[in-house]
Chains A and B, each alone.
Chain A
Amino acid sequence: MKLLRVALASLPFLALIPGVLFANRIEPFVLGLPFLFFWVIAWTVATSLIMAIVYKLDPHTHEPDED
C-alpha cells in the first residue's frame, strides 16, 4: 500500500518533463489560455487531486489528531 502511495505521489514529478516538452507551444488555446499556460494549470490541479487520493489511502491520516 505504501508503494502505491509513493508511486502515485511520483506521478506529478514524472509527468513534468515530458509534459512541458510536449506543451511548450501557444496553440491550441484552451479555455482562452495559451496551451503551455493551460497545461501548467491542469498539471497543478491534477497534483492536488493525486495528493487527495494519497491522503485517503494513508493509514496515518485516519488516526485521531492529538489555535
Chain B
Amino acid sequence: MALSLIALTFALAIALGLLSRRGKRMDLEQWTIGRRGFGVVLVFLLMAGEIYTTFTFLGASGYAYGRGAPAFYILAYGALAYILAYWLLPPVWRYAKEHHLITQADFFAHRFSSRELGIAVGLIGVLAMLPYLALQLKGLGLIVEVASGGAVGATTAILIGTAGLVVYVIASGIRASAWTAVVKDGLILIVAIFLGIYLPWQAYGGIEPMFRELTATHPDLFTLHLPQGTLWFMSTVLISALGFWMWPHAFAYTFSARNENAFRKNAMVLPLYQLFMLFIFFVGFAALGLVPDLAEPDLALLAATAATLPDWVLGIVGGAGVLAALVPGSLLLIVIATLLAKNGLALAPAFAGERRITLAARILVVPIAIAAGAFAVFGSSGIVGLLLLGYSYITQLFPGLVLSFAARRSISTAGVFAGLACGVALVSVLAFTHHHIVALLPFLPDELTGLNDGIAALVVNIIVLFAVSAVTQRKRA
C-alpha cells in the first residue's frame, strides 16, 4: 500500500513535468534557466524549494534525533543566507542578464576574462554537487526501503530512485522543478505539521512534556558541547550561509528571475517560511521516545511514522519525501549536465552549436546520475555530513565572487585561481584523511578543534588570493 502511493506520487510528478513544458521550445536556455522569465512566485518556489529537501525532511529530523541542539544550525544559516541574497543576487543577476550568461562557470569566465577559470569553477561545482545529489538519492533509497517494509534493499532502492530521477529530468526542465515544488512544499508542510504535532503527543503527551522529559533523560541534548560546541555551531552556520548562493543551481534560479526585486522580496519572507522546519525537529526529538537506538539516525522520521501510523499514512509521508528529493535532485542534475556540456564539451569542435550542446547535456544526465548513485551507495556519511562536505567545497568560490564586485582591481585572475586551488586542496586532504585542521597543523591551539574544515580552507583561500594577486599585479605594473 505504502509503496503504491509512493509510485503514484512519482507518476504525478512526471505528469506535472510533462505538462509544464507544453508550448515551450526546450532549448538549453529554456531547459536550464526558463528563458529568464520567472516572476516573484516561481523564484520564491525555487528558493523555498531549497529549504524543504531530503536534507531537511530526513537529514534534519535525523540530526535532531542523533545530535540534538547542533541541528539548530540548519535554521540559523538559512536566515543569514537570505540576508546575503538581498545584497548579492541583484548585481549577479544584472551582470548575467547584460552578458547573456547561462551557467555559473560562464559568470566567472566572463567576469575574469578567463575561459580556464570558468572550467575550474565548473569542475569545483560538479565536485561539490555530487555529494548533494547523492544525499537526495540516499534519501529516496531510505524511503523506498522503509515503505517496502525492508523487502527492497538499500542498494536496489537507491538504483530505483536514481532511475526515477533520470526519467523525470529527461522528461522536463527547470520549469517542471518550479511547478512540482508547489505540490512538494504543500505536501511536505502538511506532513511536517501533522507529524510534528502528532508524534510528540503520541510519545510524550505534547510538545512541552516531550522537552521536559527529554531534558531529564538526555541532559546534554539541548545544549551545544564539544566536539560540536559553540565554535562548531558558528563556523558551520557561517560556511553554510556564505556557500548558500555559491551552488551552481542557485545561480540557475538566480538567472531564471525576470527582475531583481524577486530576490529582495523573498529575502523578507523566507526566514519566516523556514520556521515550519521546527515541526521536523519535533519529529526527530519525538522519535527518541518512539524508536530509540536506531542504527541509522536518518531513518528517524520514517521509522517513527511506520511504528505509530497505518501503512497508507507512511505512503503519503514517503510520497512527500520522494518529491523532496525529486525537485532539488532534478535541479542539481540539470545544472551539472549543463555545466559539463556548455563549459566542458562545448570547447571541443565536435560539440559546436546550440543543438548539439543541448543534446549532450541531456545525454550526460545518465552517467552523472549513476556517479551520484554510486556515491550514495558506497559513501559512509550521513545526509547532513554529505551536505557539509559539499558546502566546504562550494564556499571556496565566495571570495572570488564577492571581490569581483567589491574589489575587482585589487585581485587578479591568477590570485582567484591560486586561492581556489589551495582551498579545494585543503578540503580534499581533510575530507579524505578524516583529519581535522588542528590534527594536521599541531601548532594550532586545541580550542580550534570544533572549527568547520571549510572555514579553515576559506581562510587559506583568502590569504593566497590576496598574496598571489599582489605579486602578479606588481609584476604587471
On A, residues with C-beta under 8 Å from B are 6, 9, 12-13, 16-17, 20-21, 24-26, 29, 32-34, 36-37, 40-41, 43-45, 47-48, 51-52, 54-55, 58, 60-61, 63, 65-67
Contacts and interface: CB of A to CB of B under 8 A. Distances in A.
A24 B260 CA distance: 38
Interface of B: 37-42, 69, 72, 75-76, 79-80, 82-83, 86-87, 90, 207-208, 211-212, 215, 219, 222-224, 230, 233-234, 237, 258-261, 264-265, 267-269, 271-272, 274-275, 278, 281
A12 B75 CA distance: 13
A32 B223 contact: no
A47 B79 contact: yes
Contact of A43 (B37, B79, B278): B79
Contacts of A45: 271-272, 275
B38 A26 contact: no
A12 B39 contact: no
B174 to A, nearest CB: 13
Contacts of A21: 230
Contacts of A63: 261
Given A47-B271, A60-B264, A33 B83 contact: no
Contacts of A20: 224, 230, 233-234
Contacts of A6: 87
Contacts of B75: 40-41, 44
B80 A66 contact: no
Contacts of A25: 223
A25 B219 CA distance: 10
A59 B202 CA distance: 51
B87 A9 contact: yes
A51 B84 CA distance: 11
21 contacts: A13-B80, A17-B234, A20-B234, A25-B223, A32-B208, A33-B207, A36-B223, A37-B72, A40-B72, A40-B75, A41-B75, A44-B275, A47-B80, A48-B79, A51-B271, A55-B264, A55-B265, A60-B260, A60-B264, A65-B258, A67-B37
Contact of B207 (A32, A52, A61): A32
A6 B265 CA distance: 16
A60 B268 CA distance: 15
A33 B234 contact: no
Nearest to B214: A34
A36 B69 contact: yes
Q: Which 4 A/B pairs are nearest by Cβ-Cβ distance?
A: A32-B208, A34-B222, A48-B271, A47-B79
Given A20-B233, A66-B258, A51 B274 contact: no
Contacts of B222: 26, 34, 36-37
A26 B218 CA distance: 11
A32 to B, nearest CB: 3
Contact of B261 (A37, A43, A51, A65): A65
A48 to B, nearest CB: 4
Of A21, A26, A45, most buried by chain B (CB within 10 Å of CB) is: A26
Contacts of B259: 65-66
B374 to A, nearest CB: 36
Given A54-B86, A60-B264, A67-B38, A44 B258 contact: no
A57 to B, nearest CB: 11
A44 B274 contact: yes
Contact of A48 (B207, B211, B268): B268
Contacts of A67: 37-39, 41-42
A16 B80 contact: yes
A65 B261 CA distance: 7
B213 to A, nearest CB: 12
Given A24-B224, A37-B222, 18 more contacts: A20-B224, A20-B233, A34-B215, A36-B72, A36-B222, A36-B223, A43-B76, A44-B76, A45-B272, A47-B80, A47-B83, A48-B271, A51-B86, A51-B271, A55-B86, A55-B264, A67-B37, A67-B38
A24 B225 CA distance: 9
Contacts of B275: 41, 44-45
Contacts of B268: 48, 51-52, 55
A43 B77 CA distance: 11
Contact of A44 (B40, B212, B271): B271
B234 to A, nearest CB: 6
